[in-house]
Structure 1
Amino acid sequence: MSSSDKSVGLIEKSGLDLRRSKSLFLIAIILISCIPLLSKVMYWGYDLEFHLFRIQGIADGLRHGQFPVRMQYSQGGGYGYPVSIMYGDWLLYIPALMHIAGLSLSLSYRFALILLNAASVVLTYYVCRRVFQSDLIGICGSVLWNLSLYRIMDIYKRAAVGEYVAMAFFPMVLFGLWSCLHPDRNGASRQGWIWCALGLTGIVTSHTLSIFMLGLVMIPILLYSLVFRSSVYIWVQFVKTAFLTFGLSLSFLVPFISYSRSANLAVYALPTDFKIKRMADHSVEPGRFLELFGAMFRPDAEASPSLGGIPISVGWAILTGVFIWAVVCFCFESRAGEDCLIDRGKKWETVPVLLSALIALFLASSLVPWHSKPLEKMISALSSVQFPWRFISLAVFFMIILGLCGLSMLYSQTDLKSVGRKAIVGITLLACLEGGYALGFFMENTNKFSPHSNQENTFVIESIMNGEYLPKGTNIFEVYPNKVVNHEPDVKMAELKNFSLNQGYATGSVKTHAEPGEVILPLFSYPNYAIDCQPSTNCSLSSTGGGTNFLVARFPENFDGKFDLNYRIPKLWRMADGVSLATWIMIIVWICIRRFRDSPVSRGIRIRHRR
């Protein structure tokens, strides 16, 4: 009998319920990760108010019959802001529906975040348990990932909703890719391509920058897969993954690409020199990756504007895991007449993971020659990430995988099982201490969140942050003089009566005389607005240009009638919605059929049918 069988036998004799104990451990991890959410007050985060406006915008759009919500009118004083087009927000419908049901914005946000933390903890545990065939390593992996300093900072200090939602799908991509590459191993899923596609879809529709970073950092893993593991089966799995991801994400990708090409947004007009300087200013000195017990606090006037109050350490628990992996791989040698500690093939399988982690750390660091002229084109493409320390999330993820590989190799050996168990428990406790300290320091030293009063005629800059998705050239000081929002149209060479504007839908009666007239509407000039006039004439839409970029409705001479103006979803977008919906339905039905076929009930039916 193996030592693991003996351990299981002893546990069973002791009367310990393994399932309940695992559930308690997972609940404990969830509670630790949610400590700041269990207070009456809400703690301040850099982007928190912006994302609360996004949730409010989705709720308002749904109330007015817009689904899916594309153009939001809660931001920018009601002038319209295409944040739902440029920023995936499927999971934000959960807090939006809670808000519609009667919860406050802050409570809706916190409940949704608790659900996300719980899902991330359980999913990470499930994936690690399947990959490494150990409940103990599954719990350790869930602690390392969900209580990692960068993830905690992303959730609470930065309140970077898109980024931390995307991070929740990283384990799903890992499990899908591993199952595709090693379908014969214990724990692998026969539907690895579905896992991978669902994970990639979650990332694409939450934070497009994360999918770009993931693809860049995973180059060594992909090269290894296609060169050393290449087969018809793997190519088929990759093709199926690509098609399924495309189909599931089409509802977001088509509007996003359409606006990226035609809307002439400010984000695409930023000077290259500015973007490169921003990357250089926010790069991390390599020594800071090794800090112990990172602290989160609100930076004062003298603190670094780029990294003040942000813990950018990898974390000593994760570093300890990587150290154990290195010791296991490179310090243990086979002895005469005895087996190696690890299989040589498994040892080399971890090298691409190491390279991916090193690439992520390098790209986050100040070692990158950001101002190099020969590399200017490459650096310019990389600068779309905005802040290089975003790569720390990927470095942490791949370093956790390395550490778990080392712990699994150690734990799987009979003679070293006790040492491996102690190492796993020690690293788990250290990760809890690091995460708990960061959360406690954050709560003690961060201001309580006080949202701006949502007054109808007051502009709140946090609603649009840096205004990346405003029309190019828009000057907010011209649009909102003294932060005052003007909801009245500017009428020229015409008479306007019975005007109303609500959620982008404008109506009114216009009368012109011998010359054409125009009505400058309090809406930003984005594509897809359309106007209908009665009687039907040559009414048209244009933009004021300059620093305001308001929408202008033009009417011909001697016009006397009504107009209706609204934001209309293009047919191509509706077709993309239909394709994505059909893909989701087909994959859900297919999974249900497969699970039924593998169920004991289905096997019993087939046996009776043969008889």
Structure 2
Amino acid sequence: MKYRWFFEIIIVVALSLPIVLPLVSPGFFSMHDDTQVGRVVAMGKALKDGQFPVRWVSDLGYGYGYPIFNFYGPLPYYVGGSLYVLGLDGLTATKIMLAIGMLLPSVTMFLFVRSITGFLPALVASVLYAYAPYHAVQLYVRGAVGELWTLIFYPLLALGAFRKSVFWGSIGLAGTILSHTLLGFATIPFLIIAFFLKRLPLSILLLGLGLSAFFWLPAIAEMKFTDVAGQVSTTANFRDHFVCLPQLWDSVWGFGGSVAGCIDGLSFRLGKLSILLSAVAIFLLLFKKPVTRIRSIGWLGFVVAVGSLFLALPISQHVWELSPYFAYLQYPWRFLATAAFGMSLLGAMVFATLRPERIADLFALLTIGILLFINGKLFQPQYIINRPTRAFETNEELRWRVSKISDEYLPPGLAKPTSQSQLPQGVVVDSGTSFSYQLTSTSSAEVIINKAYFPGWRYWVNGVNLQPKISGGLPVLAVPKGQNSISAQLTNTPVRTLGNVVSLVSLLVFGGYLWQKNRP
């Protein structure tokens, strides 16, 4: 049995390998969120400094530093950063992080569906999931690493729900939240409904939230100290980014951006074969009445796919306007990822239902071949940039080019540089969470510290702890005449400590649950 599972997973991975082949090529490619190598390097440096959990990075934010991993899903970057700590360069570590996010979804989808159906229906589901057109958009167009990684955990969450498994369910929920906070929390209402309808263990929800509390508790409580809300209100209005219905069937493949109307520069197609299989599955659900265990994944796929497409289309605008929370999602087409999950389940149900079995198996193999041949062509970048590996890790790269792309985690009101010559100078940084330097003053004065202020920073002048004045997002300290020693240390706030404790206790409970379950 164990060997069978091993060989089946080898087949799943082998079929998925073509979608990551561009990552093997020398150099790298451009993407909308072209910050990934810089973030992996920043995470790696923070881990080397002994910071855990990592919240603050010193090189990004134009060199002012900012708490990106206090808010932005850190899980993929823990993996990439750990590889950097182990000695890999930032580019290689990033490519491995991206490859994991591309390959593992097919494995977890296979594990979930295989627990309910035969081998070939599960294999079809994994290939539909891996080769979904929007999956290619996420990496080779958008560079949406967090959303990419959530695809790993959706099937695990479903596996936990179907088997009432606290192990898989809590890992699925925690992993989703730690990969992409907003999409993670978007799954919770569906879980709550499932608890009432299916009598699922409440411990799945509690333990999943507990394991990830070190991240989401401070993220919610401390978001107001960043410029995220200000940028959300000015950079992307969700009303401009609904998908036009014809775009789901066919839209031109491109590497541009999302704009108002139906002339977007990137594709929102679902894949014609996936749409046709979903239509057949819905027909079978309504008229064929598959056996209960097969019907269950069909209905799950139907609810997820239809619900996701509803939220991606303009007809759901009134729902989006019910809560200010939706504004942070910015792009309704993000739900195409969950639509791909649901449609993959519908595709699996078709081949698990059709009879005779030999004909179903033949069509399953044909479907896999078509997906590899047609959809496989989408998994290519626009072009490859041949830059030296070290060029991705320079101060100029991190403090200027990468920082310009993503500076929303700086404090509100901080004047952002408009040229490299305006980057902050003069602070001697000992580590990502502390710094110190000597200053000689000819008179009593106020000194502006060129490190962004964030709750938890503590400051000392000549060994005396001082409360700074905050001006334009930067701390200002009063210093006396003469030689002065100025130092600072980032410490935990009460909400960070609470989150850390909740996660640690949850981890102990999780370990105790596993020990109890596996005890002879």
Q: TM-score, normalised by structure 2?
A: 0.88
Matches within 5 A, 1:277-426: 278-291=237-250, 295=253, 297-299=254-256, 308-332=264-288, 342-343=290-291, 350-351=298-299, 353-369=301-317, 377-378=321-322, 380-410=324-354, 413=355, 416-426=356-366
Q: Report what 2:437 is aligned to.
A: 508
Letter paired with 2:368: T
Equivalent residues, number: 515
Q: In structure 2, which of residues 138, 145, 156 is the aligned counterpart of residue 154 of structure 1?
A: 138
Q: Which runs of 5+ in 2 are unaligned?
A: none
Q: Report what 2:208 is aligned to.
A: 245
Identity of counterpart residues, as a percentage?
19
| 1:95 maps onto 2:52 in alignment | no
Displacement after TM superposition at 1:526 (Å)? 1.5
Q: Which has the larger radius of gyration?
A: 1
Tell me if structure 1 keeps the 8 A contact 2:138–2:147.
Answer: yes
Partners of 2:14 and 2:351 in 1: how far apart? 22
Q: In structure 2, which of residues 428, 433, 453 is the aligned counterpart of residue 525 of structure 1?
A: 453
Displacement after TM superposition at 1:400 (Å)? 1.8
Matches within 5 A, 1:398-477: 398-410=342-354, 413=355, 416-439=356-379, 442-443=380-381, 445-448=382-385, 450=387, 455-456=394-395, 459-463=399-403, 465-476=405-416
| 1:576 maps onto 2:499 in alignment | yes
Letter paired with 2:167: I
Match of 1:342, SS state, is coil
Tell me if structure 2 keeps the 8 A contact 1:75–1:464.
Answer: no
Task: Summarize the Cα distance change of 1:464–1:161 in structure 2 as closer, same or farther, 3 Å threshold.
Answer: farther
Tell me if structure 1 keeps the 8 A contact 2:32–2:143.
Answer: yes
Displacement after TM superposition at 1:346 (Å)? 6.8
Partners of 2:315 and 2:301 in 1: how far apart? 21
Task: Summarize the Cα distance change of 1:419–1:473 in structure 2 as closer, same or farther, 3 Å threshold.
Answer: same
Q: Which runs of 5+ in 1 are unaligned?
A: 1-16, 181-191, 333-340, 490-498, 598-611
Q: Per-residue displacement from partner, 1:56-76 (whole Å, max 9, x unpaired)? A: 111111222222221101212
Tell me if structure 1 keeps the 8 A contact 2:294–2:352.
Answer: no
Q: Report what 1:120 is aligned to.
A: 105
Partners of 1:269 and 1:115 in 2: how far apart? 33
Task: Summarize the Cα distance change of 1:577–1:98 in structure 2 as closer, same or farther, 3 Å threshold.
Answer: same
Q: Report what 1:552 is aligned to.
A: 476
Tell me if structure 2 keeps the 8 A contact 1:72–1:82.
Answer: yes
Q: Per-residue displacement from partner, 1:252-290 (whole Å, max 9, x unpaired)? A: 1232123125x2x21123575x47x62222221111111
Displacement after TM superposition at 1:447 (Å)? 4.4
Tell me if structure 1 keeps the 8 A contact 2:32–2:142.
Answer: yes
Tell me if structure 2 keeps the 8 A contact 1:323–1:403.
Answer: no
Q: Report what 1:5 is aligned to.
A: none
Q: TM-score, normalised by structure 1?
A: 0.76
Task: Summarize the Cα distance change of 1:136–1:483 in structure 2 as closer, same or farther, 3 Å threshold.
Answer: farther
Matches within 5 A, 1:137-148: 137-148=121-132
Partners of 1:362 and 1:137 in 2: how far apart? 26
Task: Summarize the Cα distance change of 1:241–1:544 in structure 2 as closer, same or farther, 3 Å threshold.
Answer: same
Displacement after TM superposition at 1:45 (Å)? 1.6
Q: Report what 1:80 is aligned to.
A: 65
Task: Summarize the Cα distance change of 1:316–1:505 in structure 2 as closer, same or farther, 3 Å threshold.
Answer: same
Q: Report what 1:44 is aligned to.
A: 30
Partners of 2:70 and 2:154 in 1: how far apart? 23
Match of 2:407, SS state, is coil
Letter paired with 2:437: G
Match of 2:212, SS state, is helix
Tell me if structure 2 keeps the 8 A contact 1:127–1:171.
Answer: yes
Task: Summarize the Cα distance change of 1:596–1:56 in structure 2 as closer, same or farther, 3 Å threshold.
Answer: same
Letter paired with 1:356: V
| 1:62 maps onto 2:47 in alignment | yes
Tell me if structure 1 keeps the 8 A contact 2:400–2:420.
Answer: no
Displacement after TM superposition at 1:392 (Å)? 0.6
Partners of 1:351 and 1:509 in 2: how far apart? 66
Letter paired with 1:406: V
